[in-house]
Structure 1
Amino acid sequence: MSDQEDPLARIADALERLAPDRRKPTDWLAAPAYSWSDNRANPVAAIAAPPLGVFRGIDRQRDLVVENVARLAEGYAAHDMLLWGARGMGKSALIRSSVAAAQASGSNLALVQLGVTALEDLPRLFYRLAGIERQFLLFIDDLAFAEDDAMGPRLLRSWLEGGVDARPANARLAVTTNRRSIVARKAGEAEDAMNERDLLDDKLALADRFGLSIGFHPCSKGDYLAIVHAYAEPRGLAFEEGEALAWAMQRGARSGRTAWQFVTELAGRSGRSF
């Protein structure tokens, strides 16, 4: 297909004519990861991520994400992913760790993290990536749309499936969010019986575009302590389980993030750095 026939090419050409980019072109083969904002990619020298072995209490979720990322890395059919649910349970870290694991196995897969404000720039990014001999996982962290934002969810649905500017075959999207539907429900929607089903279907239509929708839930006391042990023991940090639980109680949540913060506190007290 020629550039003239490709809708993505026409969009990108039009944008270039309106605002030519005089910056040095991105080398999309040089870095393990990139951040995308203001219509440009910034190379990231290394992916900061914990090893897969430290994740506790999310075995099923970890396995699903790792397998899907590995498929993408090999150029096989892979899903767009929606990771939703409890804060601090490793959604974002799991995305980064899975890509790092694929790269450690010899894959040339790249991670591209997008800011939420970069959504409008996706057609230009899609066009650039389509011509690169490399697989890409595009990562949007902590995505949420405002109640009155009708355009953002529609654009994302179009990019995921069925639109003329859908993402290219060598790229997949991974999105983390606290809501399964991504879109917030307005107050009073549930009480309107006539419109409830239509409104709910419209909101879930966005989540349903993801081939993998994976829920994360608050961890049990046992899982929380297992996470603390997984972080503390390799660093030679001893602790009392009662103190670890008190730390979580003071912060109102048992989660992987809370566990890491507690271990950071232990290290600081001991005069150590990571």
Structure 2
Amino acid sequence: MSMEQQVTTEQQAYISPKALMTPSLQEALLAWEAFGFFRPMLEDETIGLARRLCQVLYGIPGCGAGEASAQSLYWNLFERLVGYGELSRSPVIGDAWQNYFLDHMLLVETSFSKKAQYGDAGLGAAMREGLALELANLQTLFRLSADWWQAQAQAASGRPAPVWKEVRPLAEEMDSLPQKARWEMKKAFACCPDWREAAPALARYHRQFGSGRFAHFLAFRWEGQLTGVTRPDPIRLEELVGYGRQRAEVIENTERLLAGYRANNVLLYGDRGTGKSSTVKALIHRFGDQGLRLVEVPKSRLADFPLIVDMLKERPQKFILFIDDLSFEEGEDSYKELKAVLEGGIAVRPDNVAIYATSNRRHLIREVVTDRQPHFTDDGELRPGDTYQEKMSLADRFGITVTFLAPGQEAYLEIVETLARQQGIEMDSEELRRLALRWEMRHNGRSGRTARQFIDSLAQEKK
């Protein structure tokens, strides 16, 4: 068996025999008209293109007609599906069409997925009945095999057409919980002879992982809109060495957030390279399966906080709004926007949102001498150091401040030895310590980051 045949066999192995029973073109057209909860899928350009191709193949008026139209649509669809499969970093289920269809069926946000994510609320009888019928129609479209599409296109155009049966993904990574969950859900549908029976499993999937983009990503960036981070920092809490008391405080507050209580906003303050940012980023890998999501907000977007909170407040997931390396220079007044959010205005911060920020400055804002000087108001009233008081009070608005100070020499060497054990590096302890001290003197001083850089370099040398 060739490698190409093996790839195809592995992809098709998850498809049930019934799923390989190909519908007629008329059955496919009827299924295309029976979208209810999943109608947002039709807004996807590739899914919409597949629908239009079926309409053209059947000769529906107003959809374009003739050999050139069918051939052009098929080649367009072929490029989109094969490109999606080949550039994917997740395992492929079925052929290129079936894999794409399953991915977008799980990705699209519907009234069903929004309701199902609340779990305990349950689904009404009307929603359950409609969902079962619609899943049967979706299965009809899933059963349109690569050979079926190719045969239809060739019959319409009289010209040869490629087949999208064999696709090889760029990588087959399943590092994140959403990736693994989506893979298992895709397999479940591919193996299921009757998709109506898969409705409870689909509801459980949304209950655990959420709806739409929140089921697919653990981390997001705010760029005027939420953008999912495909490959978030893989650091785990177990890999971080030292600062156990500090991390325990952050974890405890996060567990309070996940339990549905009003958690504190947290400021992680301290020297560079001590693991402040890594501590926050690692939380999603510990608590992602419990509904925790991380949204990184750049300092330049602090004014968007009310908009972000309004977008997240009705979600059942819990969110950490993460501001990394937060500090303000003289003359910057955007700190006032953050202060307003921390203090709470008309719109109260919801219980499912907390703000975590890291900074190298204890008071976040660079202080200048003039801030302490008294000044007179327009009506002649003396106000001693109002600017100073206002700036210094910003850090106080965080309910918890966790301090990460640079380690002493012995603590630094303990971090080095622990990381060496994790990497499987075996060498004389005294030699390891000597090299570690020489490294920190020549590089960035003592810190957890310096220790990791030293061990990474040492591991590379020993390969």
Calculate the TM-score normalised by the size of structure 2: 0.49
Pairing 1:82–2:267 present? yes
Q: Which residue of 2 aligns with 1:16?
A: none
Kindly indicate whether structure 1 or structure 2 has the higher relative contact order, using CA contacts under 8 Å at least 6 residues apart. Answer: 1
Give the C-alpha shift of residue 109 in structure 1.
0.9
- Structure-to-structure mapping, 1:159-174, within 5 angstroms: 159-174=341-356
The 8 Å contact of residues 74 and 107 in structure 1, kept in 2 or not, is answered as: no
| Counterpart Cα distance in 2 of 1:193 and 1:252 | 40
Q: Comparing both structures, which one devotes a greater share of its residues to strand? A: 1
Which structure has the larger Rg over C-alpha atoms? 2
The 8 Å contact of residues 31 and 43 in structure 1, kept in 2 or not, is answered as: yes
Cα distance change of structure 1 residues 63 and 196 upon mapping to structure 2, 3 Å threshold: farther
| Counterpart Cα distance in 2 of 1:91 and 1:185 | 23
| Counterpart Cα distance in 1 of 2:292 and 2:238 | 21
Pairing 1:62–2:254 present? no
Return 5+ residue gaps in structure 2 as ranges. Answer: 1-107, 110-211, 376-382
| Counterpart Cα distance in 1 of 2:355 and 2:405 | 22
| Counterpart Cα distance in 2 of 1:230 and 1:102 | 24
| Counterpart Cα distance in 2 of 1:93 and 1:228 | 17
| Counterpart Cα distance in 2 of 1:260 and 1:73 | 31
Pairing 1:214–2:422 present? no
Residues 190-225 of structure 1, C-alpha deviation per residue, up to 9 Å, x if partnerless? Answer: 6x4888764442222111111101111110111111
Q: Which residue of 2 aligns with 1:229?
A: 417
Give the C-alpha shift of residue 36 in structure 1.
1.2
| Counterpart Cα distance in 1 of 2:450 and 2:296 | 24
Return 5+ residue gaps in structure 1 as ranges. Answer: 1-23
Pairing 1:256–2:448 present? yes
| Counterpart Cα distance in 1 of 2:384 and 2:281 | 37
Q: Comparing both structures, which one devotes a greater share of its residues to helix? A: 2
Identity of aligned residues (%): 33
Cα distance change of structure 1 residues 117 and 166 upon mapping to structure 2, 3 Å threshold: farther
Q: Which residue of 2 aligns with 1:267?
A: 459
Residues 101-143 of structure 1, C-alpha deviation per residue, up to 9 Å, x if partnerless? Answer: 123xx41111111122221222221111112121101101001
The 8 Å contact of residues 266 and 355 in structure 2, kept in 1 or not, is answered as: yes
Pairing 1:123–2:306 present? yes
SS in 2 for 1:146: coil
Q: Which residue of 2 aligns with 1:141?
A: 324
| Counterpart Cα distance in 1 of 2:415 and 2:384 | 40
AA partner of residue 44 (structure 1): V
Cα distance change of structure 1 residues 235 and 57 upon mapping to structure 2, 3 Å threshold: closer
Calculate the TM-score normalised by the size of structure 1: 0.80
SS in 2 for 1:82: strand
Residues 52-110 of structure 1, C-alpha deviation per residue, up to 9 Å, x if partnerless? Answer: 2343441221110011111112222211000111111000001112332123xx41111
| Counterpart Cα distance in 2 of 1:238 and 1:88 | 25
Q: Which residue of 2 aligns with 1:132?
A: 315
SS in 2 for 1:164: coil
- Structure-to-structure mapping, 1:143-222, within 5 angstroms: 143-150=326-333, 152-187=334-369, 189=371, 192=373, 198-222=386-410
The 8 Å contact of residues 257 and 351 in structure 2, kept in 1 or not, is answered as: no
SS in 2 for 1:28: helix
AA partner of residue 299 (structure 2): V
The 8 Å contact of residues 261 and 351 in structure 2, kept in 1 or not, is answered as: no
The 8 Å contact of residues 224 and 255 in structure 1, kept in 2 or not, is answered as: yes
Give the C-alpha shift of residue 45 in structure 1.
3.8
| Counterpart Cα distance in 2 of 1:249 and 1:193 | 44
Pairing 1:32–2:214 present? no
SS in 2 for 1:87: coil
| Counterpart Cα distance in 1 of 2:444 and 2:385 | 34
AA partner of residue 154 (structure 1): K
Count of residues paired in the alignment: 243
